[in-house]
Amino acid sequence: MKFQARVAIGVCPLCGGLSAPHLTKADAAGKIYNIYACSNCTVWHLHPLPSTSELTELYQSTYFKERSDRGYADYTSEKIYRSVVSTLAKNLRDLDFFSWEQNLRDKKLLEVGCAAGHAVAFFADRGWQSLGIDIAREMVVAGQHIGRNLLCADFLRHDFENQKFNLITHWATLEHLPDAEAFLRKMVQYLEPDGRIYLSTCNTGYFARRKGAAWRYLNVPEHVFYFNKKSLAELAARCGLEIIRSFSYGSGFTTRENTSWWYRCKKRIGDRLAHFFLTGDMIVVELRSRANPKTR
């Protein structure tokens, strides 16, 4: 209570609207973080935002090796690869990617936040000229060792020269970025005029609101922004983009091995409802430039 008495109204780092204290959450070491909610665009954000150097340090060492409630257990394992590709294929089906892809003459992909490059490998196998970029050196090196076309660099500082991409993907990474707008603006710079951006992030839907501080994606300090369709539309508009497709998935029932028939049944129904009502834990959007509103 003493802590809450010291917090104050803030400014939304996304839209400049009024932000107010919404939740508090402790990290594994017991340090308390404030999560504010914007009364205008509805985004939730850490307050104050951590610096880029603080976050870079966090991702350089143990993040991808230690699952606990932060990072992934051995991200380069075959099991994780299969899991990542399975989710990716479902997302691509819901984005109608496979029919869009058929009409493309050039297939150049950039994945921003590629980790070990599982998705980069998936697209390369489909004949795409694929490139991934990430600052997590250990992961990038692991991917490079198995032949994946990956760069270890800061996306905001890297010069792609005159390259343009038909598709730029950004899977489950936006929530980690203190300067999400700068990332999206830079993606626009390297996007072909009729290109697409696919982006996924955690969604402050029904489960986030119901579970509060116990919500499974409320990871501090790694996740600095928590979006929904409204706040993503605000972000997109600020970068000259528009959402042309969106859906959500994840009903809170996690994928487990050897579960009961009843659990699988509840998960199936829950997942369908989350998808239909945009209330799931994750949201996926397809974006295109507003300056080039070509029909699909």
Q: Which is nearer to Zn ion, 45 or 196 (CB)?
A: 45
Q: Which is nearer to Zn ion, 16 or 193 (CB)?
A: 16
Q: Which is nearer to Zn ion, 17 or 221 (CB)?
A: 17
In 3D space, the residue among 285, 106, 85 whose CA is nearest the CA of residue 191 turns out to be 106
Q: Are 171 and 88 in contact (CB under 8 A)?
A: yes
Site residues, Zn ion (CB under 5 A): 12, 14-15, 17, 38, 40-41
Nearest distance from residue 243's CB to Zn ion, in Å?
Answer: 17
**Strand blocks (E) in the chain:** 10-11, 18-26, 32-38, 44-47, 108-112, 129-134, 150-152, 165-171, 191-202, 225-226, 241-249, 282-289
Q: Which is nearer to Zn ion, 17 or 50 (CB)?
A: 17
Q: How many Å apart are CA 216 and CA 282, to the nearest integer?
A: 11
Q: How many Å apart are CA 187 and CA 170, to the nearest integer?
A: 10
Local structure of residue 66 (DSSP, 8 states): -
Q: Which is nearer to Zn ion, 17 or 71 (CB)?
A: 17
Q: Are 39 and 20 in contact (CB under 8 A)?
A: yes
Nearest distance from residue 46's CB to Zn ion, in Å?
Answer: 14
Amino acid occupying residue 86? S
Nearest distance from residue 41's CB to Zn ion, in Å?
Answer: 3
**Strand blocks (E) in 27-121:** 32-38, 44-47, 108-112
Nearest distance from residue 11's CB to Zn ion, in Å?
Answer: 9
Nearest distance from residue 14's CB to Zn ion, in Å?
Answer: 5
Q: Are 141 and 117 in contact (CB under 8 A)?
A: no
Nearest distance from residue 226's CB to Zn ion, in Å?
Answer: 12
Q: Coil, helix or strand for 159?
A: coil
Q: Which is nearer to Zn ion, 36 or 75 (CB)?
A: 36
Q: Which is nearer to Zn ion, 136 or 202 (CB)?
A: 202
* Phi–psi pair at 191, nearest 5 degrees: -95, 135
Nearest distance from residue 122's CB to Zn ion, in Å?
Answer: 34
Amino acid occupying residue 57? E
Neighbours of 292 (CB within 10 A): 12
